Structure 1
Amino acid sequence: MTITRIIIIGGGIAGVASALALTRLNKISCSIYEIRLEPSTIGGAINLTPNALRYLEHLGVLARLLPKGCEVRHIDVISQRTGQKLGAVNFDNLPKFKHRALRVLRADLLQALLESLEEEGVEVQYGRRIESTRELADRIEATFEDGTRVDGDVLLGCDGIHSSVRMKFVQADRKPIYSGIAVAYGLLDAAGLSERLQFNETAVHSGRFGSFLTSYCDAEKSRLYVGAVMETKDVGSREGWALKGKDQEVTKNEILRRFGGSSVPYIEGMVKKVDSFILYPVYKLPPGGQWTTKHIILLGDAAHAMPPQGESVGLALEDVVLFSRVVSQHETKPTTQIFADYEKLRKPRIDAAFKEANFRWETAKDRGWLMTVLLEWMTWIFIKWMNISKEKDFAFDVRDIKI
């Protein structure tokens, strides 16, 4: 069958990017429905890898996004214990990668995607909660809480890790798992810090009780994004929230207990300058799982959420570009065959990415003093191996896959 109409559930990055790709590149009519009343601003500043930037360029979004972010050549890894640089993750290979990385507010990325989508005459319909679906021989019907009913050839579940589409219509028992890690993040003005910074764009300060991320997040380097990645009990929130009053004070004190008083003096000054921290519990999905039914397919975090969150955005964009290509090449096949072709190409890479993300995320937990020292001695070896591995990964492009 030829796909001409697609229903998209979720107006975040995966949903809007899907609509943009399928409308702009495949000339398919798309309708987007989002449960929130307005675009989400939760998520802080994310690091878009060279792959992600190439996909955004492919979608016609990159030019409007670049002026809003800070180009990242390296992520420096610094020991909180000694203050010494342990190594750096390298993005500075333009001949192979075409772009370096970009640290940008998640809200700015979503806004750039929405502006590009508006040029195609597609708008997100907000405040729409999906209630039920009915899969027929040649189409799918979706009914919303307000009684509205729409139909299409395909329904994309792009509604994130806590996906209603996945849990209601695809695989009810595949539920998010709390990782044991939460990120407390905030923004501050770069001017006025008294201590000299030990990084040019971005740094991860590694210590016993987790890691402390610092990064410029605008082209002028006037704003700094900071994030304390630390082991905590499940704080019981799905999306993250701005801390108020006593909670704000308690969280700041806890960050200072874990990361202040180290051999990196500017961390303490940064924490004190943040007006308001947002606490974001990190969830992940069990690996594998079901992504499709006859007319439904999950993309992005709805299918394969994993930490770290910045790279999950890149994987979502990769989903979008690959799915667009598969639809274009196999548009006359049944939807079940199109979905199967996509999964065959996609799942091996996702499985590998999940294993790597899990391994790295475990280092954010309390390691004890002795293990911290031992890991610091080994970090330079790990980073050297990682840069070799990532050189191939950052050069990878789903547009080069034979379909």
Structure 2
Amino acid sequence: MLQDIIIIGSGISGLSAALAFSHYLTPLIPDLRITIFELHPVPSTSGGALSLSPVALRYFDLFGVLDELENFGADSGIDVDAVEIFSSRTGKALSHLDFSGKHGLGYGDPEDGKRYKARRVMRINLSLAMMAAAEKRGNIKIVFGKKFVSAVQLENEDRIEVHFQDESIATGNLLLGCDGVWSATRRHFIDPGRQAEYTGFSLVQGTVKTACLRAKPHFRNSSLNLSKAGSLLVTFYEKQRQEIFASAMVECREESAKDHTGLGKWKKEIINRSLRGEMSSRFSESVIPFIREIATSTEVDWMMYPIYQVPLGGNWYTHRAILLGDAAHAMLPRDESAAYAIDDTILLARILANNLDSPLETTFQIYDAARRSDISHAFRDSFKLWQKRNTDAGPIEAWFRERLIPFQIRNNQMSWKAAFEYDANKAPIPGGSRASTPINGSLRPNSKSRSSLYSQDTTTSSGGGSVNNNQLREFSSCSQPEITNMMNNLVVIEK
């Protein structure tokens, strides 16, 4: 009987898995227990401002995360009606990627009347809102400071044993590896031969207060600014529009990218100047004053995040363990990065709920067959998108690229609409012991056209006692040391 679920990793994938499995399985298994084990001693503050599509927002509403996020006030993020696309060469608006829909209310299900646009929010705030929603479930526990070492399938038992670096052990009926691109669950247990590989791309991103800038923003909420040397995403990420997040994809050697991680303060300052020079060389010639200032201002705190991916193929599961999210299929960022990970968790939870009387491997096989084709296409599509967009262009090629943007937007409107209205909660899934509608092939509608013109999200991946919701919200404005002190008073770090 499935009773204890162990999740490795408390990022978006791990927290989504806990919420999805609690949502779909608790009515069937009243004594279900879900425990998340997180490597870090406290919630990680790394990562920038995430773009949440209408699909992701629909899921977060289902799980109660949006309600918790709204408790953060201005830090709950900013709704995005559209991403406005500009030419840095001419300053003209080229087009926009619309999230407001035909009647300006967003995308959703006509049956329940709910509509969702997009939202830009800091990763730490979203994570804390997800933790607060998980706390309210009652059967989800989060334990921090646990480094996965190995797992053992117990002979003649329906349980799996997980070993941590501190020599503690946890046992459960199901193990979910949600520990990101550097997944220890994948490397040390499920698929040891499949290592993460550098994509050749890194994200350069930074934040700055609008009060520190002289120029006025040329956009409402979010903009993508195209130049001959790539694109610069500039967006607000909190409701009062007092903070700006900027991000650009750059190609660089892995050795150079690695130099930007785990640094002391003095080295970070040197690298900040270096990155400012890189941004200046790419965007300082823009005719848009706001872009010129962002690219050259000493007030922007730039950092580089190398992007790694998990090669296609390989094993996603074994006996009583399975990989989800970036642990299984990390790829270059795209507009649906968060939604893809949440899709994984919802679809697997629903398939499992419909096959509780079957062996876990049967459930895993059904999930793999239903999910892998979508992931493989998204992986290849993302790589082609960035290879094409980030090459330097001469004046003529840049002119042609800009002219093509409106046509590309119009041609993809129907496929984007289908993607924004997709709901893994209602998608038909393969039948099992509890009847459901069988499917063939992809679960995603028209998944071929799911690439975007503006994907700029951080792919860096990053508990226990009960955490009070009001105390959780305090983390959003704290530094990492402050968070450590607060968490020591709130969460039991098991030994």
Q: TM-score, normalised by structure 1?
A: 0.94
Partner of 2:413 in structure 1? 387
Q: How big is the alpha-carbon RMSD for the aligned residues of Structure 1 and Structure 2? A: 2.0
Q: Percent identity?
A: 31
Q: Which letter maps to 2:248?
A: A
- Measure the CA separation in 2 of the matches of 1:206 and 1:78: 6
Q: Which letter maps to 1:76?
A: E
- Measure the CA separation in 1 of the matches of 2:99 and 2:260: 30
Contact 1:241 1:279 in 2 (8 A): no
Partner of 1:207 in structure 2? 227
Structure 1: where are the runs of 5+ without partners? Answer: none
1:147 aligns with 2:167: yes
Partner of 2:403 in structure 1? 377
Alignment of 1:219-298 (within 5 A): 219-234=239-254, 235-237=256-258, 244-271=268-295, 272=297, 274-298=299-323
- Measure the CA separation in 2 of the matches of 1:185 and 1:95: 28
List structure 1 segments (4+ residues) > 4 angstroms apart after TM superposition. Answer: 238-243
Relative to 1, partners in 2 of residues 1:289 and 1:372: Cα closer, same or farther, differing over 3 Å? Answer: farther
Once the two structures are overlaid, the 10-residue window that deviates more, 115-124 or 54-63, is 115-124
1:357 aligns with 2:382: yes
Relative to 1, partners in 2 of residues 1:309 and 1:42: Cα closer, same or farther, differing over 3 Å? Answer: farther
Relative to 1, partners in 2 of residues 1:351 and 1:140: Cα closer, same or farther, differing over 3 Å? Answer: same
Alignment of 1:101-180 (within 5 A): 101-121=118-138, 122-136=140-154, 137=156, 138-180=158-200
Which residue of 313, 316, 320 maps to 2:345? 320
1:194 aligns with 2:214: yes
Q: Which letter maps to 2:165?
A: E
Give the SS at the match of 1:19: helix
- Measure the CA separation in 1 of the matches of 2:384 and 2:205: 22
Contact 1:7 1:31 in 2 (8 A): yes
1:73 aligns with 2:81: yes
Q: Which letter maps to 1:33?
A: F
Per-residue CA shift, 1:199-233, capped at 9, x if unaligned?
11111111222211101101222211111222222
Give the SS at the match of 2:239: coil
Q: 1:59, CA displacement in angstroms?
A: 0.9
1:85 aligns with 2:93: yes
Which residue of 147, 171, 183 maps to 2:203? 183
Partner of 1:40 in structure 2? 44
1:7 aligns with 2:6: yes
Relative to 1, partners in 2 of residues 1:196 and 1:236: Cα closer, same or farther, differing over 3 Å? Answer: closer
Q: 1:25, CA displacement in angstroms?
A: 3.8
Contact 1:162 1:238 in 2 (8 A): no
Alignment of 1:50-61 (within 5 A): 50-61=54-65
- Measure the CA separation in 1 of the matches of 2:414 and 2:166: 52
- Measure the CA separation in 2 of the matches of 1:69 and 1:154: 34
Give the SS at the match of 1:175: coil
Per-residue CA shift, 1:270-303, capped at 9, x if unaligned?
2415442221111222223321111111111111
Contact 1:10 1:33 in 2 (8 A): yes
Q: 1:311, CA displacement in angstroms?
A: 2.6
Give the SS at the match of 2:211: coil
Give the SS at the match of 1:400: coil
1:344 aligns with 2:369: yes
Q: Which letter maps to 2:253?
A: K
Q: 1:367, CA displacement in angstroms?
A: 2.5
Structure 2: where are the runs of 5+ without partners? Answer: 27-31, 109-114, 430-495
Per-residue CA shift, 1:75-117, capped at 9, x if unaligned?
1111122212221111112464320000000111101011111
Contact 1:212 1:226 in 2 (8 A): yes
- Measure the CA separation in 1 of the matches of 2:21 and 2:223: 36
Partner of 2:333 in structure 1? 308
Once the two structures are overlaid, the 10-residue window that deviates more, 266-275 or 126-135, is 266-275
Q: 1:134, CA displacement in angstroms?
A: 1.0
Per-residue CA shift, 1:157-185, capped at 9, x if unaligned?
00001111111112222222222211111
Kindly tell me the number of residue pairs found equivalent between the two proteins.
402
- Measure the CA separation in 1 of the matches of 2:259 and 2:368: 27
